[in-house]
Each structure stands twice: as structure tokens, then as C-alpha cells.
């Protein structure tokens, strides 16, 4: 349980951090909450020669509304999201999910940026951000680039981040009026990673049809999955039970879970279908002002 030896760096600016990451390339890892990286290092599944601790960089813990966007800095902890009045009022999907992530200790340290950057399909935030249509702002020594979240996850524990790059902030569109969202997670015990989970976000138009739909799947394949077929099917349609059921079927069709000690693959697929229907039902009820 003792990590391999490493050099510890504590940059004081973002520029210094990306400079160090660029200099050491694949031999370096950024450290934010440490809630995934440190256990991996202790188990010696990861052994970076250089650890670039970004926790001492001031000004990265902002959670602010700017126009129609919620900007979430790289050092915003899950606990900060959990306690945020803006998240509670405008992002029921995120509010549902964040309190189901691990336990208070992990949420006090773990960051949204780290949760995404880890690229683990079992983490909860990727599906939430896929459903909400977030964008990731990436800083590197040559400047910044912004990537839609559905282009960010490219393999198991692999993201579109290049060596030397950091997630600087996450931009989440603030849902308009008549929007609602929900996250349901099946777990073996409280605080565990999901067997599977689903996050859904819906905006209704004036006639009550689904104007915009976002659906993200957790632990339902080798990467976090945006259930695009289900989203496309439901967009423009009434949120009838028949349509929600078909959306659930399409989401399950897009899932590709593996059998493991948590559950067999066919059970996980069935649960993706059911959780998609249930989260959509709750999202629609919340969009209409009901179902707290
Ligand atoms: C007991 C336990 C239970 C857990 N249960 C859950 C759960 O139910 N659901 C869930 O979603 N998560 C769970 N987690 C994981 C937790 O949410 C982690 O906090 C999260 O996966 C990583 O965030 P972090 O800030 O701790 O990142 P770190 O551990 O510091 O880093 C993780 C990875 O991301 C990279 N990284 C970190 N920050 C950045 C950045 N800004 N830019 C680029 N790369 C970066 C690191 O180099 C590393 O590769 C659990 C963890 C523990 C210990």
C-alpha cells in the first residue's frame, strides 16, 4: 500500500502546472482530489514519476453563473456542488447524482474535473454532464481549447486530454424554463460505484412535447454513453408512456455492459432500460413543476 517513489510538484499558477505537465509528459500526473489517483498509486496500478498537485493554484474553485452558463472551475469539489443553491434550484439531475457519489469524505476532496478526467465509465459525473450537454475547457502549454463532453471520453480510463493538458473548467448550459432532470443509480450499498445508473434531462415546449432531451448512461459500457438514439427518438414527441418506453428500449440497445461481480450483463441492460424510463418520467414531472 506504499506508492512508488515520485517527485512532488506544487505549482502556484495554471501556466506553471501545464508547463510541468508538458515537460514531464507521460511521466507526470495531475493531482486534484486524489480520490481515484492516490488509491491507484498505493495499489501500484499507477506509478507516475512526477505528481503535479494543482490544489495550491488560487482561483480555480469558482462555481458561477455567467449568462446562460454555469462555469465550474477545476478545483470545485463534489461537496461544493452538493451544497450549491444554484445546483439545487436549476440542476436537479446534478443535485440527484452528486449526493450519491461515494461518501462525504470523498465528496469533500473529489472534484468534478477529476471525476471526468479519470475517464472511468463507473463514475457518475460523466453521464450527468453528457445528459446536460456540458463542454470541457482544456488548458495546455500552447493555449486553451474547448471540447463538447461527447467528444471527451474515448476509451476506458482514456480521455481526449493529451499529455501536458489540464481540465481548467467545465461549462454547463443552464436549462431554460420547463426543464427537468433526474438521476437514478442502482448500487450494492450506499456509497458504492453504480451497477448501472442513468441521468436524463428534458426541456418541454409550449405544447408539452420534448423539445430537448439528454440521456447519459453510467457503467453501461467501456466508456460513459450518451444515448443518442433514445434522445433523437424522443425529441419532438409527447412524453407518453409508450414513447418513454421506446426511449428506454433504445437506450438499452446502445448500452454494452460487461458481466462482473456486481451483476450479469443482461441484468444491467434491463436496468438501463428501466432507469431510462423512470428518470425520463421524473424529469418530465419536474419540468412541469412537480416531483421534487
Ligand atoms: C471509496 C470511494 C468511492 C467512490 N465512489 C464513487 C462513486 O460512487 N461515484 C463516482 O463518480 N466516483 C466515486 N469515487 C471516485 C471519486 O469521485 C473521485 O474523486 C474521482 O473519480 C476523481 O476525482 P479527484 O478530484 O479525486 O481526481 P484525482 O484522483 O486527483 O485524479 C483522477 C485522475 O484525473 C486526473 N486529473 C485530476 N484532475 C485533473 C484536471 N483538472 N485536469 C486533468 N486531469 C486531471 C489525474 O491525473 C488522475 O489521472 C469513489 C472514490 C472512492 C475513494
Q: Grid coordinates standing for 182?
A: 433526474
Q: What is the structure's pLDDT at 72? A: 98
Residues 193-215 have a mean pLDDT of: 98
Please name the residue ranges forming H helices in the chain: 14-24, 37-42, 78-83, 85-90, 92-98, 104-109, 112-117, 125-132, 228-234, 241-254, 265-287
Nearest CA to ligand 1 atom 1: 102
C-alpha 220 to ligand 1 mean position (Å): 19
Average the pLDDT over 184-207 and give the result. Answer: 96
pLDDT in tens, 266-279: 999 999 999 999 99
Per-residue cell: 190:
450506499
CB 78 within 8 A of CB 106: yes
What the block records as the C-alpha cell of 93 is 439531475
Alpha-carbon span 179 to 211, nearest angstrom: 10
Provide the greatest CA pair distance for the chain. Answer: 62
Mutate to test the pocket of ligand 1, among 10, 20, 27, 30 (most ligand atoms within 8 A of CB): 30
Distance in angstroms between the alpha carbons of the first and the last residue of the chain: 43
Rg (CA), the chain: 19
pLDDT at 291 over 70: no
Which residues line the pocket of ligand 1, CB cutoff 6 A? 29-37, 39, 74, 101-102, 106, 109-111, 113-115, 117-118, 123-125, 161, 166-167, 193
Q: Where do the domains of the chain lie, and which CATH numbers do they carry?
A: 7-51 (3.30.43.10), 63-173 (3.30.465.10), 179-287 (3.30.390.50)
**Beta-bridge partner residues of 9:** 52
The pLDDT of residue 8? 98
| pLDDT > 90? residue 292 | no
CA 127 to ligand 1 centroid distance, Å: 15
Phi, psi of 260 (to 5 degrees): -150, -170
Total-model pTM: 0.97
Secondary structure class of 152 (helix, strand, coil): coil
Amino acid at each position: 500500500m506504499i506508492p512508488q517513489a515520485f517527485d512532488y510538484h506544487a505549482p502556484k499558477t495554471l501556466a506553471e502546472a501545464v508547463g510541468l505537465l508538458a515537460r514531464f509528459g507521460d511521466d507526470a500526473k495531475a493531482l486534484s482530489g486524489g480520490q481515484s489517483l492516490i488509491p491507484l498509486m498505493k495499489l501500484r496500478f499507477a506509478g507516475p514519476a512526477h505528481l503535479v498537485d494543482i490544489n495550491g493554484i488560487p482561483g480555480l474553485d469558482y462555481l458561477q453563473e455567467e449568462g446562460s452558463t454555469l462555469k465550474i472551475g477545476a478545483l470545485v469539489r463534489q461537496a461544493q456542488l452538493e451544497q450549491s443553491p444554484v445546483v439545487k434550484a436549476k440542476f436537479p439531475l446534478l443535485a440527484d447524482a452528486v449526493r450519491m457519489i461515494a461518501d462525504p469524505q470523498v465528496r469533500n476532496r473529489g472534484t468534478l474535473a477529476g471525476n471526468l478526467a479519470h475517464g472511468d465509465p463507473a463514475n457518475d459525473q460523466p453521464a450527468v454532464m453528457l445528459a446536460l450537454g456540458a463542454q470541457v475547457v482544456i488548458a495546455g502549454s500552447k493555449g486553451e481549447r474547448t471540447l463538447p463532453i461527447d467528444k471527451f471520453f474515448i476509451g476506458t480510463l482514456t480521455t481526449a486530454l493529451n499529455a501536458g493538458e489540464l481540465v481548467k473548467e467545465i461549462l454547463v448550459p443552464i436549462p431554460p424554463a420547463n426543464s427537468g432532470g433526474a438521476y437514478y443509480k442502482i448500487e450494492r450499498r450506499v456509497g458504492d460505484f453504480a451497477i448501472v445508473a442513468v441521468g436524463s434531462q428534458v426541456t418541454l415546449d409550449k405544447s408539452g412535447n420534448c423539445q430537448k432531451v439528454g440521456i447519459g448512461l453510467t457503467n453501461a459500457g467501456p466508456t460513459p454513453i450518451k444515448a443518442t438514439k433514445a434522445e433523437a427518438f424522443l425529441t419532438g414527441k409527447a412524453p407518453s408512456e409508450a414513447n418513454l418506453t421506446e426511449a428506454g428500449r433504445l437506450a438499452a440497445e446502445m448500452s454494452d455492459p460487461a458481466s462482473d461481480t456486481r451483476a450479469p450483463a443482461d441484468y444491467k441492460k434491463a436496468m438501463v432500460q428501466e432507469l431510462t424510463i423512470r428518470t425520463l418520467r421524473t424529469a418530465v414531472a419536474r419540468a412541469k413543476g412537480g416531483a421534487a
